[in-house]
Structure 1
Amino acid sequence: MVLRESRAQPRRENVEVIAEEGAAWRGAVDGLSRWLTRNSIERGRVSIVVSSRFVRYALVPWPSTELKRDEGSVWARFHLETVHGDMTGWTVACDAGEFGRARVACAMPDAFLQALRETLTTRKISADAIRPAFVNGWNGWRKLIKPGRFFGVAESDRLVLGCCGQRGWESLRVLSAKGCCDELIALVRREHVLMGMTGTPNALLFAPGTISVPWGTVANAGDGIHWLQPDEIGSAPALAMANLAAER
């Protein structure tokens, strides 16, 4: 998804670019290129939201000793490799985080980012940020994410689900999901049990295209699940992941 802001019109335009089923990131980049060509779009600035299908995530615990910037990058890559294996060929970045709290690390393929930049550069378009879908949602609704509450973004064929504790994120997992309401609710309930929590789950879920409620509202499903709807999402400041991915 590309977020384009026009100077002539003070509004934001959401442009969704979907690759063909089964296609890798090349399909998404080619789809963006065709859309730009078809609409004769050149120059300007954009923000890009990337599907979790092309992103890897990991939770990075706070180190026991102070790390320099380069050491912090190695620490984040180490935890990504612990989850996903060899990360050669991937751009890794981590949110700034707060002292003593676990941080979210993300990674995207180097070749994907390079192809994306080349597609934009040929049209004199610059990217303000390149945000993973989960990070974009987190930025937009971070004020609602309180201790004891789950936050998840469901898109493509997966759900990125994290649980917030008193000292920041306590869990972060990418789960296979078809996207239907019942399955998403069941996954949240399972994570709730696995976390050793009791009572009704308290969760915020963003599942575009799955839930139908009025624009810009939060719909309570009555079972502890609050279905979020986009309301100028993407206007919040991006995390370090977005800046690093756009600048490198």
Structure 2
Amino acid sequence: MSHLSPDRYCAVLGAEGVGLGRWHAHHHQWLGTRAFTCDAAQPAWGAALEALSALLAEHAPRGGQLRVLLSARFSRFCLVPWSDAIGHPRELQAYAQGCFENLYGQSLADWRIVLSAEPAGTARIATALPEALLQGLQGVGREHRLSLRSVQPYLMAAYNRCSAQLAQGDFLFVLAEPRRSVLLLAAGGAWQQVLAQGCADTDQALQALIERTCELYGEQLPRVYLHAPGRAEVPQLAAIQLCQAAGDSDPLCAMWRAVA
């Protein structure tokens, strides 16, 4: 008896739209996108969940697995310095929550915090995701008979996929999503900074953001790596282009293809 592998779907929740791709056996297929607009009375992820559910209903999956990639719009990032006083995972979670609350000036009790795995003595990159969004994605999966296998910020998926192209030494990794960019600065073998900021989709705005970040680094500028999914034209910047798929003018499709 042969056992057919289940279809695997990947949803990309972008700043203004949701995209959906599918893997069946060895075939990749982009199924399309659905735009959404945010009502001031509900959080942005509420409209994104409705768009995702409608997009899944349109393609009527017959069971399978679902992976979700989240735009920086739905994630918060923070650098968590090393502390010798931390000796238990619960203490580390409380410490990371304190770092977030100090940075953002509000409680993150209803957010889920995930920390990167780093060597002892070095800072970690922490990501906070709304708990209600994660529960909502579980509900959408159940509604469409899909098993939710993972939810990951696109920043982490893109960095992991591009990391093999990064040379040894200090560097600045720049993810230029539509309307928002995230920058990771590494020096001396450790993370030094993570910055997420709204940014116009122009070379000039992105270059200014990179230069401001590099000023914090010191006199010797780090090597700059750029991943800008869905740009109609390759950015003309002094940066090494990563995971750049030619011909993908749809940012959501480009994000999916870059990490597929």
Matching of residue 165 in structure 1 with residue 148 in structure 2 = no
Amino acid aligned to 1:6: W
Kindly indicate whether the alpha-carbon contact (under 8 Å) linking 2:157 and 2:259 is maintained by their aligned counterparts in 1: yes
Matching of residue 101 in structure 1 with residue 122 in structure 2 = yes
Q: What secondary structure does 1:229 align onto?
A: coil
Shift of 1:18: 5.3
Kindly indicate whether the alpha-carbon contact (under 8 Å) linking 1:53 and 1:156 is maintained by their aligned counterparts in 2: no
Matching of residue 20 in structure 1 with residue 36 in structure 2 = yes
Amino acid aligned to 2:174: G
Kindly indicate whether the alpha-carbon contact (under 8 Å) linking 1:181 and 1:211 is maintained by their aligned counterparts in 2: no
In structure 2, the gaps of 5 or more residues are: 1-11, 13-18, 246-256
**Counterpart for residue 238 of structure 2:** 224
Shift of 1:105: 0.5
Matching of residue 234 in structure 1 with residue 255 in structure 2 = no
Q: What secondary structure does 2:127 align onto?
A: strand
Task: Calculate percent identity across the aligned residue pairs.
Answer: 24
Kindly indicate whether the alpha-carbon contact (under 8 Å) linking 2:173 and 2:226 is maintained by their aligned counterparts in 1: yes
Q: CA RMSD in A?
A: 2.3
Q: What secondary structure does 2:259 align onto?
A: coil
TM (norm. structure 2) is: 0.78
* Aligned 1:1-248 pairs, distance under 5 A: 1=12, 4-7=21-24, 9-14=25-30, 17=33, 19-22=35-38, 24-84=44-104, 85-145=106-166, 146-199=168-221, 202-210=223-231, 212=233, 221=236, 224-230=238-244, 233-234=258-259
Larger Rg: 2
The separation in 1 between residues aligned to 2:157 and 2:123, in whole angstroms, is 18
TM (norm. structure 1) is: 0.81
In structure 1, the gaps of 5 or more residues are: 214-218, 236-248
Pairs aligned (count): 226
Amino acid aligned to 2:159: W
Amino acid aligned to 2:109: T
Q: What secondary structure does 1:67 align onto?
A: coil
Kindly indicate whether the alpha-carbon contact (under 8 Å) linking 2:34 and 2:55 is maintained by their aligned counterparts in 1: no
